[in-house]
Structure 1
């Protein structure tokens, strides 16, 4: 894109829309003969095209014209003399406009009274102009023809350019919506993109949907609002005190297509899962056919983005369900754990986020990791399904041989989860869970099992769960022990910082516990008082 267009596009959006829908065409007459300028202005003042009059400016030299053009982004036409302060001043100005300024939109018509200085054939070939006329042949009628043809060409170019810009905004904007992780983000993205696409932000936008409430699928659900519509409410009949808008929404629903009935335009975005989204906005001007076409493309992209979000959500829930099912197998074997794994999940997520907020392990604590590590931690003891019941459910202390067998659950769980992870491309619940299962009994100083790893050789996920697993076990009552008091559990964890546990993880867990910043269910379970 040219520098000129970049400058134009970065102007204030309100000003941009005003320029595009202004009621005048801006024309610049550049000629060193005052009489020619005056006659031209007088003639052009009576012209109209598409119900717009002409705003005619003038310059008596190329240098004056440069000053005017430099501060104008909406010139439609330049009627340009060739010979002014120099014999080729007009031609040099053409090159400056096209090459240096980068403005390829303005139409340029060369007018000359001395064709010998600028032969028509060579000028048309060598310079990016749109017409070449002798001053003597430009009667009022011919001037009218030249001007209207130039304005028509300019208008068509801007329509094409605006459509191209609109399509680029749709492509750029909706690509980000393919990465959304919540319905709120989806609605927020719609609000942002509508404002950008229309170039002139409406006074408000309302995003609604049907099918979001299983018991009353026909009821409108308001998802997001801006501006004037922030106080609107809906009931079983539609939007309260908004009969015309409710009617247009019903019309869009019935026809499964957008309704453009200014000022109550309603975009319709049907999704494959039965949900239907409606976007209402009231622009200050009537949406034209080109903009309607762009908005329809936008709706199609939004529909695909939402379907992608929904399918991703279903896939995520399927993986989570698989994790829960596998964890249930382990719990069935080890009845002592109860809700232990769910507390481990919530505590693990809290610590991972605390570490990130404190600026630790930022390369590892990505959004993908944060969204999976809690659920993955549920499977930390999945390997216990391979441990004999007589050992797993023994009420007393294990002897050395039994302890050796019990310790095999770490490698066993890692192997099971690693094989499952290979069926799914990329980093997933099972690959993270494999790291946790195989590493949460490793010690930070290298004295743990099964491999004797130390420090950051142990996966971060396993270092987090190592602390959480022990803390929750200490704070929980088991058939062979009573729950420890909070201060004793804290002292135990502190006493093993840098030996058994990662000191940064210990810092994080202690901050969350002492400052009572854990999820409410954990605060209640650990007796931390009010959250």
Structure 2
């Protein structure tokens, strides 16, 4: 035998040292061969070699079945040096099919090596199996082995880069979809931090999962921390200037000066964005590992989408705030016109929110219902004062006029596309329906009436009975709750009556907080019993 251009045999080498650990992030190379000498010689030939600054880390299997176990434990193997003939004449070929078709692993590079080329002709094997090369063991000198292996590693590197980019883009799409569904600043802030971790976690063992970070947003130098993770959790809800970390402020200041608002140095990264509505938005996070160029590209793309999400949220918030203001002003107008003291609408809205939460509606829906309920008597804007503020009993004709307010109010709002105003229109139309079907305007029975209408019906009558009006004195609490017990399953949804009776103290507390000390109300008389001075 000669020097390095000849294959080395076992009797020419010293005993093999234990394989190095994976601490240096080496390329994982799996040797699959039933001959122990082949393992020993291969490791010895390639000992000390590197590719792109990473050494070779060898794994060993002595049969196709053993190789399956190793593959399950190490899904990130880069190259397999695979013998064709082991426990059977086609063990190696069967393993190739298993890797590609059952594991669906198309990333690992496979180099077939055989000492019996006649068992599996090279031309046919290359055509029929997804492998990178097919070599006879006797032709693999150190130089040829190294060339073959480096070529395979280069292919593996290209494939994994493409796959990581594809996974990164997929995460960008998923993350963007998630953040655009967030309907509040706090939820958007939480979503950005959550999706940030997902985007950067391109490997199962990625250290990026240990990131600490925060998001902040606000206008006119009043940015508040919306969400935070790790070391920054204590700052949620605080002004950004209160964050006790010079590193955070330094990174955010530098991000402001960057063309794309993105700054990253060492393990500290920051992003700054000013929206079209002049809101300032910040993101700061710390990682245990430097970002590579691919990570930076993905983050810049993600932050572009986050910028659009913040813009959309602020624009929608502005529209929603305007709608809220319009509804409140309409409610205030009705209160003034009907000689109410100003607390009826507020009390009803608070009762509605409490009922909605106790019934099981979500916080957002309860808040929207609270706001929308303030317009429940909007239709009375078309009712003559002589009828609306009449202190005595109504004639049948006058009662029909009063009843017309539900359709009037509904028609005023029904064409709006705003969820809040649509909810208000529904409440106006349905809050005088009864559980037994004897209500108006449609005579709906039971759950045919939307839960929003059923909730406001309880809240409206509860307030009407418990406060003095121009046409009746306030009832005692005992009388009020007795009336609801009697009307459960008749006028009111039994489930809502149970909630009212089980939470008496909470409803009384709302009444006490917004109680009219003096003056009387003239609203919702059509919701009361026929003899409203005292219950029968």
TM-score under structure 2 length normalisation: 0.83
Answering whether residue 199 of structure 2 is matched by residue 197 of structure 1, we say yes
- The Cα of 1:269 is off from its aligned counterpart by 4.0
Instruction: Give CA deviations for 1:431-490 in whole Å, capped at 9, x if unaligned.
Output: 333332233223322333334333233332222222211111222233444433322222
CA distance in 1, matches of 2:446, 2:70: 68
Answering whether residue 209 of structure 2 is matched by residue 209 of structure 1, we say no
Partner of 2:190: 188
2:156 to 146, 154, 157: 154
CA distance in 2, matches of 1:146, 1:368: 62
Partner of 2:380: 384
CA distance in 2, matches of 1:94, 1:119: 16
2:482 to 491, 506, 515: 491
Alpha carbons of structure 1 residues 461 and 36: separation in structure 2 relative to 1, 3 Å: closer
2:400 to 391, 401, 404: 404
Alpha carbons of structure 1 residues 88 and 379: separation in structure 2 relative to 1, 3 Å: same
CA contact (8 A) 2:219 2:279 kept: no
Answering whether residue 513 of structure 2 is matched by residue 524 of structure 1, we say yes
3-state secondary structure, aligned to 2:85: coil
1:314 to 312, 315, 318: 318
Alpha carbons of structure 1 residues 304 and 446: separation in structure 2 relative to 1, 3 Å: same
Partner of 1:65: 67
Alpha carbons of structure 1 residues 502 and 23: separation in structure 2 relative to 1, 3 Å: closer
Deviates further, 456-465 or 99-108: 456-465
Alpha carbons of structure 1 residues 178 and 517: separation in structure 2 relative to 1, 3 Å: farther
Answering whether residue 131 of structure 2 is matched by residue 142 of structure 1, we say no
CA distance in 2, matches of 1:34, 1:20: 22
Larger radius of gyration: 2
1:505 to 496, 499, 502: 496
Partner of 1:339: 343
Aligned pairs for 1:31-180 within 5 A = 31-180=33-182
CA distance in 2, matches of 1:177, 1:237: 22
CA distance in 2, matches of 1:154, 1:76: 6
Answering whether residue 427 of structure 2 is matched by residue 453 of structure 1, we say no
2:411 to 415, 433, 438: 415
CA contact (8 A) 2:24 2:55 kept: no
- The Cα of 1:115 is off from its aligned counterpart by 2.6
CA contact (8 A) 1:475 1:526 kept: no
1:305 to 295, 298, 309: 309
- The Cα of 1:414 is off from its aligned counterpart by 2.9
- The Cα of 1:204 is off from its aligned counterpart by 4.5
Partner of 1:476: 467
Instruction: Give CA deviations for 1:212-245 in whole Å, capped at 9, x if unaligned.
Output: 253xx1x664333322234569999956663344
Unaligned 5+ residue runs, structure 2? 1-20, 202-206, 517-536
CA contact (8 A) 2:223 2:280 kept: no
Partner of 2:522: none
- The Cα of 1:500 is off from its aligned counterpart by 2.0
Alpha carbons of structure 1 residues 213 and 272: separation in structure 2 relative to 1, 3 Å: closer
CA contact (8 A) 1:333 1:392 kept: no
CA contact (8 A) 1:269 1:302 kept: no
CA distance in 1, matches of 2:161, 2:237: 38
- The Cα of 1:291 is off from its aligned counterpart by 0.8
CA distance in 1, matches of 2:73, 2:444: 68
CA contact (8 A) 2:100 2:130 kept: yes
- The Cα of 1:145 is off from its aligned counterpart by 1.2
Corresponding residue pairs, total: 490
CA contact (8 A) 1:233 1:239 kept: no
3-state secondary structure, aligned to 1:286: coil
CA distance in 2, matches of 1:95, 1:52: 29
